[in-house]
Amino acid sequence: MTQQTPVRKVCVFCGSSFGDDPCFAKEASELGSLLAEENNGLVYGGGTTGLMGCVAKAVADAGQYVHGIIPEALVSKERKKPGDIEKINDELKDSVENHDGTTPLDDSYGVTTVVTDMHTRKELMAQEADCFVALPGGFGTLEELMEITTWSQLGIHAKPIVLLNINHFYDEFIEFVRGCIKRGFISKENGEIVSIATSPMEVIECLNNYKAPNGRFHLDWSNK
């Protein structure tokens, strides 16, 4: 598969399931198309199911750069043969276990790198990406979003981070963060590390206009 050289590489965190609302998959695909249209490449968790597959397929179909990074243990859970995708959409989209199956790796979703563990996956994604976007997802998506946000707070990076709040999915999480600020556990400045978007187009705008807030730590993370 021939891929364009992107202006920047966007790391997208999202679920390997579809969720309970068709709008999640619809907007995930729309985001992928917009990213490619704006000449952004994609770095992601390497799955072909759920929202992961929607974003990656949209970017790859546009001929844009896609790099999936997946632990070997998850290949049987989060990869599906291209011909199985319609079957998943039609028959299994209502189940959180809709990514249960084995498949050989193929290039329909860009280039895939298989690693040994989750830590390596996240490290490589963070190193390659120029910015980060989180879509709806579960424990894994939240963990990835919180880790990369904490790294920004600690001064490890100053890359843009955007949360796409599709159909109010993250309303309670946003209120939780506001509560942490109110109760003195997150500074008001650091509460601005993550930009909030409500549509794929707003994600692009947030990425283009992002400025890392003041109040972040300026620590020395170099290896001396």
Give the pLDDT confidence of 94-136 residue by residue, as tens digits.
433 444 333 345 678 888 999 999 999 999 999 999 999 999 9
SS3 31: helix
Distances (CA, A) of 149 to 74, 132, 157, 180: 24, 9, 9, 14
Q: What is the pLDDT of residue 4?
A: 65
C-beta of residue 71 within 8 angstroms of C-beta of residue 114: yes
What average pLDDT does the structure give for the chain? 87
- How would you classify the pairing of strands 131-134 and 40-44? unpaired
Is the pTM here over 0.75, yes or no?
A: yes
Minimum mean pLDDT range among 102-106, 141-145, 160-164, 216-220: 102-106
Q: How large is the average pLDDT for residues 170-185?
A: 98
CATH of 8-209, one of 3.40.50.450, 3.30.70.20, 2.60.40.10, 3.40.640.10: 3.40.50.450
Give the pLDDT confidence of 67-91 residue by residue, as tens digits.
999 998 888 666 665 554 444 444 4
SS3 18: coil
Q: Where are the alpha helices (DSSP H) in the chain?
A: 22-37, 50-61, 75-78, 85-87, 118-128, 139-153, 171-182, 200-209
Question: For residue 185, is pLDDT > 60?
Answer: yes
Which residues, other chains included, contact 188 with Cβ-Cβ below 8 Å and sequence gap of 6+? 181, 215
The model's confidence at residue 221, banded by pLDDT at 50, 70 and 90, is confident
Q: Which residue type sits at 163?
A: L
The model's confidence at residue 50, banded by pLDDT at 50, 70 and 90, is very high
Distances (CA, A) of 160 to 3, 32, 151, 153, 205: 24, 17, 12, 12, 11
